[in-house]
Amino acid sequence: MSYKVLARRNRPQKFEEVVGQEPVVRTLKNALSRDRVAHAMIFSGVRGVGKTTIARIMAKALNCHHPEEAPCDCCPSCLAVIKGNSLDLHEIDGASNRGIQEIRDLKENIRFMPVAEKFKVVIIDEVHMLTTEAFNALLKTLEEPPGHVFFMFATTEIHKVPVTILSRCQRYELKRVPFRTLADFFAGIASREGVSISPGAVDIIASEADGSVRDGLSLLDQILSFGGESITEEDLSLVLGLVDRRVFARIIASLLASDLPGALALLHETYNQGMDLKRFALGLLAFCRALLIVRTSKTPAAILDLSEQELAQVEAIAARHALETIAGAFHLLMRGVEDMQRAIHPRMALELIFVKIAQLGVVVPVSELVSRLDALIAGCPPALPSEPEPVVAPRPDLADRSPASSVNESAVDVSLASAAARSGEVMPAPRPPAPLGVSESGGWPGVGDEAGPAPSVSVPGAGSLASEEKPALAVGPGPEAVLAPAPARSRREVRRDWDDFVVYVRERKPWMALTLNQADKAREEGGGLALYYDEPSECHLLQENENLRLLTEFAQDFFQRELTVRVLVAGESRGADLEQPQEERRALARDPRVRVALEVFGGQVAGIRTEPRSR
């Protein structure tokens, strides 16, 4: 007698034996007990989760002779389905009978009453393989079938089933079986087979099954044939070609610690054992994903299919590294696995991935670069105004000057001035502070007037004359210095002193100075300061009320006038003032192709023509 594999021997025969599909099982059992079974049902899900199995159990339950415990597996109807010789159960393979003629034959067959049971049950496996014509031929029958017929469909690709078919069926989504449920199920089967299997080996089989009961049973069947009465994790590595998860942990830990030689040595050892590198790379990617989930999720155990020991190991590695580093490694591995599928030399491609991941430790995060740039901008020393040239004024007659004209608040270093006088040099004198209440027309410039000229020292016998428009400090032979009266200074203008104003703002708000430099034009109009921008994004921050108020204070302090600041955008704030030709000229000047040409050839725009050549 031929051997029957575990997947066939352990196929569930009752609803209670189905693994990991409690919501679907409960719904179907309630529908049977309340006589609310739909005439058409479709079961979908990944391979090996019990779609066809549940359809067969449902077929037995519909014709079971003991409805209170359906299916009972002891009545003639249930036994006929189990043996596969029931005349009223039609199980069709959708891949082999996918044409319109097979569907026509099925429609003719279901017209007749059941042979031995109460209902005819039609199960179409992999129903998504039917052709479009076959689906269309089935529509009317599926919508209004005879009262003695039930349809049950199973598919792994429900998105390929037409919506018109889905709308006529009750849909049941079968989920992947949870990791721990699979592990307990496989351990129970091994115990019934009289085999001792280590918990680590069971966890590896459950993980490789990826939620599929049939896949896990096939792996377990293979390892039972090899291991005899006792199975360990090493047996799985030898027979199934699986890599111990501890190898993944050691390699990832070495790469994140920038230990490239250690990671390459482990890769070489794994390669010599005959491991498929593409499958090995997928294992590394899965382990790196586990690190990322542990680092970001509050409940990683509910997401990851890992045992408690493996989860503790992943948490220990993730705690030693920043989230950015782990995310970078995961991104590089994901891109690298895709490249390996097309690479001629997969090992070289994987080694290149290792090199990139090992260098993640020396990569500076973007957030740190931005913070450094902000600090640089905030601490950037302002551009100093050019120092005024010293002016030598003729020494006035000290005897004719009254004592009131001598310097009072600002003390002048007489010894320094005397030394300069003896050497015949010209020394600029320090500017005294402006008295409170002194206007620009009658005294020293106000606060922020960095551009104002400094007074100069008059040295006897220097042979040069000072400009009469600038104040001069005369130093005599005695301990007395006399300050010449300062004439009125012309007030600051926006057009002339704009660069100095930007420097003034940079000292107080660096980002605001950068925004001012992006202005297309700045001019004084209507008793205020008007700033014109080409794009709203260039001045969005500046238009906020708080920032606009601060800029107005800066302008009033610097220009010493009651100025109001307005921020205008081309096409919005100035829409009525700009004519169409001006807009066209601006658009041409801002064209990316024009800017690239200027940059490449090092040129400048000499003129813009918008009118036709014929004019």
pLDDT score, position 363: 62
Is pLDDT at 426 greater than 50 in this prediction?
no
C-alpha closest to that of 220 among 190, 182, 255: 190
pLDDT score, position 98: 87
Average pLDDT over residues 464-487: 42
Is pLDDT at 400 greater than 70 in this prediction?
no
Spell out where 339-488 has E strands: 456-458, 472-475, 481-483
Residues 232-246 pLDDT 10s: 888 887 777 666 778
**Taking the domain 243-363, which CATH number applies?**
1.20.272.10
Answer whether 243-363 and 498-578 agree in fold.
no
- Beta-ladder partners of 543: none
C-alpha closest to that of 205 among 292, 305, 294: 305
pLDDT score, position 161: 93
The arrangement of secondary structure in 498-578, i.e. its CATH architecture, is 2-Layer Sandwich (3.30)
pLDDT score, position 577: 43
Is 577 or 191 the better-scoring residue by pLDDT? Answer: 191
pLDDT score, position 464: 38
pLDDT above 90 covers what percent of the chain?
Answer: 27
- Cα 608 from chain centroid? 43
pLDDT score, position 136: 92
Query: Which residues 6+ apart lie within 8 Å of 35 measured at CB?
Result: none
Q: Angle at which helices 100-109 and 132-143 pack, to 10 degrees?
A: 20
User: Are the beta carbons of 336 and 350 closer than 8 angstroms?
Assistant: yes
Of 112-116, 314-318, 362-366, the poorest mean pLDDT is in: 362-366
Residues 487-519 pLDDT 10s: 445 678 888 888 898 999 998 888 888 888 888
Structural domain spans, the chain: 6-175, 243-363, 408-431+454-486, 498-578
What's the maximum distance between 2 C-alpha atoms anywhere in the chain? 143
What gap in Å lies between CA 263 and CA 247, rounded to an integer? 10
What gap in Å lies between CA 69 and CA 262, rounded to an integer? 62
Instruction: Report the alpha-carbon angle 481-484-486, nearest 5.
Output: 140
Residues 129-182 pLDDT 10s: 999 999 999 998 998 889 999 999 999 999 999 999 999 999 999 999 988 899
C-alpha closest to that of 288 among 242, 321, 266, 259: 321
Average pLDDT over residues 252-277: 87
Is pLDDT at 383 greater than 60 in this prediction?
no
Give the 3-state secondary structure of residue 442.
coil
Give the 3-state secondary structure of residue 475.
strand
Is 321 or 400 the better-scoring residue by pLDDT? Answer: 321
Of 93-102, 203-212, 314-323, 361-370, the poorest mean pLDDT is in: 361-370
pTM beyond 0.75: no
Residues 203-219 pLDDT 10s: 888 888 888 999 999 98
Residues 22-78 pLDDT 10s: 999 999 999 999 999 999 999 999 999 999 999 999 999 999 998 888 898 889 999
Average pLDDT over residues 343-358: 90
Range picked from 257-261, 424-428, 450-454, 541-545 for highest mean pLDDT: 257-261
Residues 31-41 pLDDT 10s: 999 999 999 99
Is pLDDT at 120 greater than 90 in this prediction?
yes
Average pLDDT over residues 351-359: 90
pLDDT score, position 606: 73
- Confidence at 527, pLDDT banded by 50, 70, 90: confident
pLDDT score, position 612: 52
Average pLDDT over residues 422-447: 42
pLDDT score, position 481: 42
Is 570 or 358 the better-scoring residue by pLDDT? Answer: 358
C-alpha closest to that of 40 among 19, 58, 17: 58
Fold of 6-175: Rossmann fold (3.40.50)
Average pLDDT over residues 370-375: 80
Query: Which residues 6+ apart lie within 8 Å of 521 measured at CB?
Result: 531, 532
